[in-house]
Every structure is written in structure tokens, then in C-alpha cells.
Amino acid sequence: MKMATPSAYGKMLNPEDFVITRRRKKYRFAKFANSSICFEFEDWKKSKANVVEVGAGTGLFSVELARRYPEKQFVAVDVKADRLQKGAYEAEALGLSNVRFLRARADQIAECFTARSVEVIWLTFPDPFPKRRSAGRRLTHPTYLKIYEKLLARRGSLHLKHDSPDFFRWSLEQLVRSKWTVNELYFDLHESDAPNDYKIQTTYEKRWLGEGRQTGFVRAIRP
């Protein structure tokens, strides 16, 4: 007979529920490992790419871009394989051969791509790390902007989408201070006349829009 244990709030928890959760996560990692278009950082060979999405989550945003532009090469990068596998299997189901999925940290991408080879780097709803002491972990911190600058081609651009006004404004300040040129700026992307590609919704974006949040978007050219 299975025994449930009380939580700190008095609710009865079943230890088997957590076992199932762990099994599901292991299953997703296994799916990532078994896909021919998924790569671990250690197995990745430095290469060129037209478009790189950093902090890609499920990678479904990159999948849709790859579907629209079969002549370009896309790479979705995230530290969590159990998320990326979803995009990988969707890409395989669509028969796409121009998108790959890489499990790596954002600070490792300079080792993953040839310098000056990337046309566009996308940051789609990165963790805002709202506490001031965690500012160095934000993907628009000057430390990361220098990494992107090394990877982007001469007229390459950084595209940022985010739902947090505070993080978005902070990111704009970092771009200006780091001498990036802001070419396009929308504080409410989906109510603007911005190009349709910008309005492709990520998995999380659909949720945020459903809660009434606005998406900010900026396109900035490297110094």
C-alpha cells in the first residue's frame, strides 16, 4: 500500500508523483540524445549559421523561421535539453534540414560559431533576473553583448523580444551604452506594423499575451 506524506502546508503528497516527473524528464533527455539534429556542447563543431536563437526554450520559434526560410541555417541554443527536444521533433516531423538544436550555455556560444558569421541573434524572452545582484546573468548584460558582437557579421543584428517593461528598458540602456545602433523599436509589438516574422509567437509569449501582457521588441546593429 502506497503511503502519502504531509507537506508543510498540510497537503498530502504522493512520492510516486515525483518519481513519474523524474521519469518524464529523463524520457525527454533521451529523446534529445536520440535526435540526429540535437547536439551537446561537447560534441558540437564550430560552424557558421545565419540565425542563432539564444535561450530558445522549446526552439519552436526557430522551427517556424526555418520553415519560412529554407535557404538559411538556424540554430536554437538552450541549456535545457528536455525543452529543446520538442522543437527538434517538430522540425523532423516537418522534414526541415536547415535547423539544429544545441544544448549549451549562453556564455559558451562564442566557442560554437565562427566569428563574424552570424547574421541575426535572437533573444526570445530571456530570464530577466530581476534582483540587482543578478544583473550579470542577464543576456543583455554588456558581457554578453561583447560575445554577440564577436559573432555577428559586419551589419549583423541582435533581436530582442520581452514582456517585462523593466528588463526591456534596462536592455535598451545597455545597448545604447555599448554603442549599438537601435534600428527598430516597438513597445507593443503585436499592435504595431512591424514585419510579420517579428510577431511569430514563442511558447511562453502565447501565455503572456493571453494574460494581457505586451511584447517589446528591439532590433540593434552591432557597433
pLDDT at 10: 46
Whole-prediction pTM value? 0.87
Q: For residue 195, give Cα distances in angstroms to 60, 107, 198, 221.
A: 19, 30, 6, 17
Strands 74-78 and 99-103: parallel
Q: What's the rounded Cα separation, in Å, for the pair 69 and 202?
A: 17
What are the residue ranges spanned by the domains of the chain? 36-221
**What does the buried/exposed string (b/e) look like for 169-188 if buried means 16 or more CB atoms within 10 Å of the residue's CB?**
ebbbebbeebebeeeeebee
Active site residue 127: yes
In a 10 Å sphere around its CB, with 0-12 CB exposed, 13-18 middle and 19+ buried, how is residue 67 labelled? middle
Q: Where are any strands of DSSP class E within the chain?
A: 5-6, 12-13, 38-40, 51-54, 74-78, 99-103, 118-124, 152-162, 181-186, 216-221
The per-residue pLDDT string of the chain (223 residues; one tens digit each, 9 = 90 and over) reads 444 444 443 445 454 444 445 566 666 778 888 899 999 999 999 999 999 999 999 999 999 999 999 999 999 999 999 999 999 999 999 999 999 999 999 999 999 999 999 999 999 999 999 999 999 999 999 999 999 999 999 999 999 999 999 999 999 999 999 999 999 999 999 999 999 999 999 988 988 898 889 999 999 999 9
Question: Residue 131 has which C-alpha cell?
Answer: 534582483
Determine the 3-state secondary structure of 10 from DSSP. coil
Helices assigned H by DSSP within 133-211: 142-151, 165-177, 203-210
- Enumerate helices (H) and strands (E) in the chain, giving the number of each: 6, 10
Output DSSP code: residue 127. -
Question: Residue 63 has which C-alpha cell?
Answer: 522551427
Strands 216-221 and 152-162: antiparallel
Question: Residue 137 has which C-alpha cell?
Answer: 546573468
Instruction: State the Cα torsion 142-154-71-57 to the nearest 10°.
Output: 0
Which of 127, 166, 188, 197 is labelled catalytic? 127
pLDDT at 182: 97
pLDDT at 25: 66
Tell the residue number behind the cell numbers 523593466, with chain if given: 166
pLDDT at 33: 83
Q: For residue 119, give Cα distances in angstroms to 34, 53, 152, 163.
A: 29, 11, 6, 24
The answer as to CATH 3.40.50.150 being correct for domain 36-221 is yes
pLDDT at 207: 87
pLDDT at 204: 85
